[in-house]
Amino acid sequence: MKKRGVGIASVMFGFGYGEGFPDHSTASIRIKPDGRVEVKTAAADVGQGVLTVVSQIAAEILGVPVESIDLVNGDTAVTRSSGSTSATRQTFFTGNAVMNTAQILRSIIFDLAVKVYGKTYPELYFENSCVVPHGAEEKKISFAELAKIAAERGEKLEAEGSYFPITTPPDPSNGQGERVYVSYTFVTTIAEVEIDLGTGQVEVIRMVAAPDVGQAIHPQNVEGQMEGGSAQGIGMALMEEILFDEYGTLLNPNLSTYLIPTSLDVPRMQTVIVEDEEPLGPFGAKGIGEPAMISTAPAIINAIYNACGVRIKELPATPEKILRELKKLAAGN
Amino acid sequence: MKGNIVGHSVPKVDAKAKVTGKALYATDLYMEDMLYMQVLRAPYAHAVIRKIDLAQALAVPGIVRIITKEDLPGLKNHGLIFKDQPALVGIGEKVRFTGDTLAIVIGESNIQVRKAIKKIKVEYDKLEVITDPLRAMEEDAVTIHTAGNIVCTHKLDKGDIVRGFMEADLIVYNEFKTQHVEHITLQPDAGLATLEEDDTICIWAATQWLHDTRVDVAQAMGLPVEKIRIIQPAIGGAFGKREDIIAQLHLAIAVREVKRPVKTIYSREESIIATSKRHPMIFRFRTGVKKDGTLTAWEATVIGDTGAYASSGPAVVHKGLYHCTGPYDCPNVRGVAYTVYTNNTYAGAMRGFGATQTAFAYESQMDIIAEKLGINPIELRLKNAYQVGSTTPNGQKLYASVGVKETIIKAVEAFERLGGVIR
């Protein structure tokens, strides 16, 4: 016989290193002679999409298409530190560093354009890699031409900027601090499971997740994070466990004995993005990398209880464990 | 704020290179004159090494060099927070888990190197192996590191916990445990190192933090930071595993000795045995709540097994404590977190960094409380959820962007839209 149940879990995640630990990111951006925009950071893109995010932010502020951004990959000889791709920090920290740098460069370009046109700020705007005077659009100057003008004048169209917020080290006696983390991301997951009471096997059949990301810079990337994180959460809830024997020998060091979810174990899921803007984030954004997986396992564990009355207090909820608990319940009745 | 580009799902900038196979991962890197490196791991999880006999291994054709600690007496420990991890364990020194390294073997082909590793003979004296953090905390337990088995202790004390429990109509106590989890990055651990003409060591290897990797490699080898250059190839997943630096350090040591490019690729088995894991954690939660569901007190003890080396452990375990009430406002919180050494594979950063483990515990606790009070679990959460002006267990006041209630409401709506029925 099979039984279904639904579980919910809501979570919080303070992102950035926090706790007074120095946490900063530096970026540099320049207009190349051909008018393309070079963005340099050392942010590691482990697949999550930070390079797309920084390209979008730079393109938005400088008024250029994303396709005209050239990225310089992380290399300690040519890029300054962008901190780690960890602590759910890259969108917020390197995003802010790129935003600050793009703003500095935007003002450098503006200052040069003002000199070229003899017109001041409100009469000029940026569009499609050009500076354009209001009402005289035919007189627009491309970034490539501006780069040439700048070179002739011995000026450079480049900028470097950082983001380095202050956080508070918690008091060692009680953990209290005014600003322990820069900000917090929240996620709620609802999972529906079906349990085979004969085998103890749990199948996740439906799942929704609602992350509060402040502002999604790239909504599809947020969905990707949520889907990948949820799959990892299913593994943690139901199957993954590295085992050691009493001599410290690791017993299952292969994918034949250490099971992770396959596409057959992951249900169709829906992500609903909540955007409660974070004033300190770039365009209001917060990080999502880690919180994407946090609410999955507890939602599944609560769904198992809802389905069959088994309360799993030690992860993972393997079929063996569930069968054992079901037997205990039956004996108690 | 949404813009013309921000807030839109533009094509990912690295997608084309990845789907066409043009992106270069560390495993793809190749140089004409490069050598291959593998390492000999510890034969036992806790032991003093007495002898390492390389004679037969050196006789294997194609073997260029075998490096042990005896060749590098000045080599210093490394580590993300505490420098407690040796890149090589020498004679008279201790191995602390089965992934510790005794010898770096370099040769013309991977097959020859693997063959040589099997021919190294090691003699050692076994010590008590500790796999249970609770055993590690006992007074008579053998110490894994000289300073003791408790790496560090963190405390939390907000409000007045005694008053909080006095105000409670119901007090619920539960213990929860989480397991060792492996990251399983799609891409195996791999790297290539070269020695430049000015003696700069260049390392191509997937890392989550180039500049930190550079400093840690340099300090372990006693070199100026400028003499290490880290170049990022494409990365096939990380999830926290690529914060620790062991392969990079072995490559740097090897390339400096042989002065030819050196490449390494771990097998999946080696990666699982020798690289970091998610911390297994124990949570003891005592929660006080009024009849109407209002939280009044939350007391937490957290014990995290960081394995043989601290890695990110001192930060991971107390992050679990600091997040112990989840997204719920509780005026009185007290807790303590212990980060403990064992002889298990060391645990480090993994997606969620302690906050993942504690969420399983507090969200289970919330559901248990809801049932005992006869309150719908969603209502109990909405009742206690943070809002602007709430304070976290650290006493941090939340000023903006506190969307937790909206995430609950939106998730319920979406679930019902999909035909789900909340029972």
**A293 inside 8 A of chain B by CB:** yes
Is B203 a domain residue? Answer: no
Q: Do the chains contact at A258 and B410, CB–CB below 8 Å?
A: no
| CATH code for the domain of B349 | 3.30.365.10
Distance between CA atoms of residues A83 and B245, nearest Å: 15
Is B156 a domain residue? Answer: yes
At residue A149, the 3 state secondary structure works out as helix
Distance between CA atoms of residues B249 and B262, nearest Å: 12
Query: Is 70 exceeded by the pLDDT of residue A121?
Result: no
Query: What is the tens place of the pLDDT at every residue in A12-62?
Result: 999 999 999 999 999 999 999 999 999 999 999 999 999 999 999 999 999
Is B93 a domain residue? Answer: no
Query: Is 80 exceeded by the pLDDT of residue A314?
Result: yes
249-288 in chain B: CB under 8 A from chain A: 268-270, 272-273, 277-278
Question: How far is C-alpha B14 from the geometric centre of its chain's CA atoms?
Answer: 27
**B350 inside 8 A of chain A by CB:** no
Domain span including residue B335: 133-181+277-417
Query: Is 90 exceeded by the pLDDT of residue A270?
Result: yes
Is B317 a domain residue? Answer: yes
**B53 inside 8 A of chain A by CB:** no
Domains contained in chain A, CATH given: 2-15+182-332 (3.30.365.10), 25-163 (3.30.365.10)
| pLDDT above 70 coverage of chain A, percent | 99
**A255 inside 8 A of chain B by CB:** yes
Q: How many CB pairs under 8 A join A and B?
A: 390
**B338 inside 8 A of chain A by CB:** no
Report pLDDT for A332. 85
Average pLDDT over residues A73-98: 96
- Phi and psi, residue A35, nearest 5°: 90, -5
Each residue's pLDDT, cut to its tens digit, for chain B (423 residues) gives: 899 999 999 999 999 999 999 999 999 999 999 999 999 999 999 999 999 999 999 999 999 999 999 999 999 999 999 999 999 999 999 999 999 999 999 999 999 999 999 999 999 999 999 999 999 999 999 999 999 999 999 999 999 999 999 999 999 999 999 999 999 999 989 999 999 999 999 999 999 999 999 999 999 999 999 999 999 999 999 999 999 998 999 999 999 999 999 999 999 999 999 999 999 999 999 999 999 999 999 999 999 999 999 999 999 999 999 999 999 999 999 999 999 999 999 999 999 999 999 999 999 999 999 999 999 999 999 999 999 999 999 999 999 999 999 999 999 999 999 999 987
Report pLDDT for A123. 78
ipTM over 0.90: yes
CA distance B36 to chain A (A): 23
Distance between CA atoms of residues B185 and B236, nearest Å: 7
Tokens (6 digits) for B313 = 């452990």
Q: Which among B247, B394, B217 is positioned nearest to A171, based on CA atoms? A: B394
Which of B1, B4, B6, B271 is the best mutation test for A, with the most CBs of A within 10 A?
Answer: B6
Please indicate whether residue A137 is annotated as part of the active site. Answer: no
Q: Do the chains contact at B344 and A248, CB–CB below 8 Å?
A: yes
User: Which residues in chain B are contacts of A59 at CB distance < 8 A?
Assistant: 5
Q: Do the chains contact at A184 and B402, CB–CB below 8 Å?
A: yes
CA distance B230 to chain A (A): 5
Q: Which among A75, A107, A102, A111 is positioned nearest to A162, based on CA atoms? A: A102
Report pLDDT for A135. 85
**B355-373 and A296-308 helices cross at what angle (nearest 10)?**
30
Q: Do the chains contact at B355 and A190, CB–CB below 8 Å?
A: no
Is B64 a domain residue? Answer: no
How many domains would you assign to chain B?
A: 1
User: Which residues in chain B are contacts of A126 at CB distance < 8 A?
Assistant: none
Q: Sorting pLDDT into bands at 50, 70 and 90, what band is A333?
A: low
Report pLDDT for B60. 98
**A290 inside 8 A of chain B by CB:** yes
Q: Which of A290, A314, A320, A325 is catalytic?
A: A290
Query: Is 90 exceeded by the pLDDT of residue A119?
Result: no
User: Which residues in chain A are contacts of B174 at CB distance < 8 A?
Assistant: 313
Q: Please list, in sequence order, all residues whose beta carbon lies within 8 angstroms of the beta carbon of residue A172, skipping any fewer than 6 positions away.
A: B154, B155
Q: Please list, in sequence order, all residues whose beta carbon lies within 8 angstroms of the beta carbon of residue A327, skipping any fewer than 6 positions away.
A: none
Average pLDDT over residues A133-159: 95
Give how far Cα A259 sits from Cα of A51, B33, B139, Å: 31, 39, 37
Q: Which residue of A has its CA nearest to B322?
A: A175
